[in-house]
Structure 1
Amino acid sequence: MMKQSIISKKKKNKQSIPEQVPIQVILEILSRLPIKSLFHCQLVCKEWFSSISDPHFAKLHLSRSPISLLIKPIFRASRQLRLYDLQILHKTHPREAHLKLTSEINIPYAGQEIVNSCNGLLCLCHISVIYVCNPILGEYITLPYATYDGHYSVPTVTAFGFSLRTNQYKVIRFFIERVVESINPITELKTYRDDPKAMIYTIGGLWRNLGSVPYYLTNRSFNSFVNGALHWLNFTCDSPDFIRCFDFDSEEFRVVPEPPEFGLRKEFSDHIRVGVLRGSLSICDFSSPLRISIWLMKDYGIKESWSKELVIEDGIGKRGNFDCYEPIMILKSGEILMLVNKDALKMYNPKLGKFKKLNTYGIKSEFYGTAHVPSFVSLRDVAKREKFSFVC
């Protein structure tokens, strides 16, 4: 009888432990866990599953979720995506740091291109078809076709972003329209010029025509969405500033000042990338075969706030300026994770002056990598009026 009473008491204490911890405290703890651990936590009980699936938790977790690397193989018919936890990849076996997402994601065409990622949502494109998905939850929507009513209008590039002011996700698509600039009165030969146009789509709304635009997206970078705007490089002879951006709040195009005394020759425009490091706009200049320079804009929009954060002169290798370097993140140790030529993940140690290649477990072919912040943001909440699909 006494033994049964002790067992009964143990069961009672075991059951009362979760009840002693307020759900708010549990959510605070859960929101700081990596995405892989949260999948296991969803299996603990119905209450945890419901809490993790709640939009308020998704927003809280997103604000704390670190940047990960999302990889898609290039030369394979597979639609698989793999997510790598960059916080632990350099100090554990790659098998533990990677998460294989649904390998048969139900999106037509295996050759879809990754456009970019924003707030845990991923935009993909195949010719004229645009998708927005959450690869973590296996959800996706297909956007309506965007056609520009102009002669010889050819869609070029697509970009995906988020408006902090309206709390809406938007997709902008650029078109190039050939316009007759002049006609030779004698030969009647026509001279054409390219006139960039754009249309914008608010998720849950309609395509809207922005008409002629001053710039169009070129030189896509690894991760360049910061301060509510997507940034890219556009070198022209008539402007000393070469950083352009599209603000998803105001839906306007702007020029962002370059670092003072930057000294980049425009013929090396293919050897520079704009990105985001430590929450700031950054520039990686690898135009010299002898060094790599990394700049940070500490106070957004202020030219004088540009700071040359690091100069790498060791360990670059013999290929020099034939390689493309795109910094992903700076670790607390000061080491820098970089995507090199979009098919290799390397870590640079400033103290040792060496690059170390990190193993991407399970990916043997060349891949396309992009920065991705994994989240539980559901498209059911973001795109309520869209045609919603779920991957089993």
Structure 2
Amino acid sequence: MERAEKKCGLGFHILEFPLHILCDIFFKLPAWSLIRCTTVCTAFKNLITDPSFRQLYISRAPTTCLVLSDRRYVSCIDCRLLCSASNSNHGTSSCLATIGKTPSSTTRSNSPISDHGSRRRFITIDCGRPVNLVNSANGLLCLRTFGFPHDRALYYICNPLSAELMVLPIAPTPINQNLRFSAFGYDALTNRYKILQLVVTSTNQMVAELFQIGDDKWRVIDNNVSSSVSARASSAFDPSLNGALHWITQSPRISELICSFDLNKNEFKWVAPPSHFDDDYLNEISGISVGVLKGCLCLCYVKGSDVFETWLMESYGEVESWTKAFSIDIKSYVGLRPQDKHRPIGFSSSGAMLLKADSGSDSNSHSLVSYSAETGMFRTVDIGGIASNIEATPHVLSFLSLKDMLNVRDNNKVVNVRRLR
């Protein structure tokens, strides 16, 4: 005992803690702290990199980051610091924060990002070419770019924290303007990541194509998918949940309003909407989209012209479990246009809703606001000078390398991208 006291002054060594206590401590640490812990000793490294710990960590980790893309630069924002304290007493004011121009990577001294904002924008990587944000799933981010031979899409998988990027094989079908839906998800049963895209061909047929990370090529699931699964524009802001992808369809049938794709069985399925949805009700709502709130499937839409509603499916797949999470009087959005209010970016783990809106009369200048259903308040999202034309999604940071998460053995398939911050 005396030797142990001389070691650490506590009477015991930290490795003498029961395993469940050590795990509980690590579960509470942010991803970047876990990376440091893996360098402390072999025991820490073995515990933190164990597959079971990794999956439990990601499933319990709060949504601490919002990933933003200005067509080339991908940044992570600490969601715990999103709201400006100076606006805490503004009630239901809109509290807009204008996003400035992106600085050149070679002129960082001229950056409009304040020190206050820089602490929130703690990771920025350069993808090297214009990209679009697809979505995040299980600690990884999916990006997409166009303009490759015959107008085919090229997808990337990214871990922003480790600044690693994996380029996937080019998608087989030319998409032109006929891409109806694409999303990235994770199948926990097989520990595989997958990308689904729905494309309408020149012969007006809907084709479903799937890529499983680790394979050499895409495969066609169905050469003639029913047009009822075709997604509406901006119909899914956080589509990945319970091993399935979700979106709002263009089908006029109520029973086919919400479509899902089972990533394990590679099957299309329908998710029943709330029981009060009928033809008359559907005609009263607009801007409907599907996402994830506190680990549950949710629907967001505007009813009439003055009420924003969010409904939560508390028990996945059970129509009786749909419950209204909150509603907002549109008039409370001071300074925001109605057409901007029904397009949420996502929800933080605390339940705060994040939205994007145009700032003033400049359609190329955007702002982000957050809304708390518990307090009924809107607050400024201080993101420290991200550029215009942003895209955003909730994201949970992963402390493991992209190679380890995707089980990639060929080092040439994963590249390190330039990290600006």
For the superposition of Structure 1 and Structure 2, which TM-score range results when normalised by the shorter chain? 0.7 to 0.9
Matched, 1:140 2:165: yes
Kept in 2, the 8 Å contact 1:41–1:48? The answer is: yes
Query: Counterpart in 2 of 1:328?
Result: 346
2:195 is aligned with what amino acid? Answer: V
Note the C-alpha offset of 1:141.
1.6
Identity, in percent, stands at 29
Matched, 1:162 2:162: no
Q: Deviations over 1:166-201 (max 9, x none)?
A: 22111122221132xxxxxxxxxxxxxx21102111
The one of 190, 193, 213 equivalent to 2:225 is 213
1:305 is aligned with what amino acid? Answer: S
Higher relative contact order (CA 8 A, sep 6+): 2
Matched, 1:244 2:254: no
Note the C-alpha offset of 1:26.
2.9
Note the C-alpha offset of 1:236.
2.7
The one of 268, 281, 305 equivalent to 1:289 is 305
Query: Counterpart in 2 of 1:346?
Result: 369
Distance 2:190 2:274 in 1: 31
Distance 2:251 2:408 in 1: 42
Note the C-alpha offset of 1:87.
3.7
Q: Deviations over 1:234-280 (max 9, x none)?
A: 133355541111111111112211212235444854x2221111211
How many residues were matched structurally? Answer: 362
Q: Compared with structure 1, are the counterparts of its residues 92 and 135 closer, same or farther at alpha carbon in structure 2 (3 Å cutoff)?
A: farther
Distance 2:43 2:85 in 1: 32
Kept in 2, the 8 Å contact 1:123–1:131? The answer is: yes
Q: Deviations over 1:125-163 (max 9, x none)?
A: 111211112222222221112214x99995554221122
Distance 2:159 2:213 in 1: 14
SS in 1 for 2:369: strand
Distance 1:169 1:19 in 2: 34
SS in 1 for 2:73: coil
Matches within 5 A, 1:122-271: 122-127=141-146, 128-148=153-173, 155=179, 157-179=181-203, 194-205=204-215, 206-210=217-221, 211-214=223-226, 215-220=229-234, 221-239=236-254, 241-262=256-277, 264-266=281-283, 269=286, 271=287
SS in 2 for 1:147: coil
* Bigger mean CA offset, 236-245 vs 42-51: 42-51
SS in 2 for 1:178: coil
* Bigger mean CA offset, 13-22 vs 27-36: 13-22
Note the C-alpha offset of 1:29.
0.9
Q: Compared with structure 1, are the counterparts of its residues 13 and 246 closer, same or farther at alpha carbon in structure 2 (3 Å cutoff)?
A: closer
* Bigger mean CA offset, 347-356 vs 65-74: 347-356
Gaps of 5+ in 2: 87-115, 147-152, 359-365
Q: Deviations over 1:273-311 (max 9, x none)?
A: 211112111111124332211111122222222112212
Query: Counterpart in 2 of 1:379?
Result: 402
Q: Compared with structure 1, are the counterparts of its residues 101 and 339 closer, same or farther at alpha carbon in structure 2 (3 Å cutoff)?
A: same
* Bigger mean CA offset, 246-255 vs 43-52: 43-52
Distance 1:390 1:72 in 2: 20
1:361 is aligned with what amino acid? Answer: G
Kept in 2, the 8 Å contact 1:71–1:367? The answer is: no
Distance 2:395 2:18 in 1: 31
Query: Counterpart in 2 of 1:309?
Result: 325
* Bigger mean CA offset, 231-240 vs 345-354: 345-354
Distance 1:351 1:147 in 2: 47
Note the C-alpha offset of 1:231.
1.0
Distance 1:36 1:283 in 2: 33
Determine which structure has more spread, i.e. the larger CA radius of gyration.
1
Distance 1:336 1:233 in 2: 22
Note the C-alpha offset of 1:91.
7.6
Matches within 5 A, 1:28-43: 28-42=24-38
Distance 1:285 1:152 in 2: 29
Distance 1:154 1:328 in 2: 25
Gaps of 5+ in 1: 1-5, 180-193
SS in 1 for 2:53: helix
Distance 1:358 1:174 in 2: 34
Query: Counterpart in 1 of 2:55?
Result: 59
Matched, 1:79 2:95: no
Matched, 1:118 2:132: no
Note the C-alpha offset of 1:92.
7.0
Distance 1:315 1:338 in 2: 16
The one of 294, 301, 308 equivalent to 1:278 is 294
Query: Counterpart in 2 of 1:184?
Result: none
Kept in 2, the 8 Å contact 1:123–1:133? The answer is: yes
Distance 1:157 1:169 in 2: 17
Note the C-alpha offset of 1:373.
1.6
Note the C-alpha offset of 1:59.
2.1
2:339 is aligned with what amino acid? Answer: F
2:333 is aligned with what amino acid? Answer: I
Query: Counterpart in 2 of 1:359?
Result: 382
* Bigger mean CA offset, 15-24 vs 362-371: 15-24
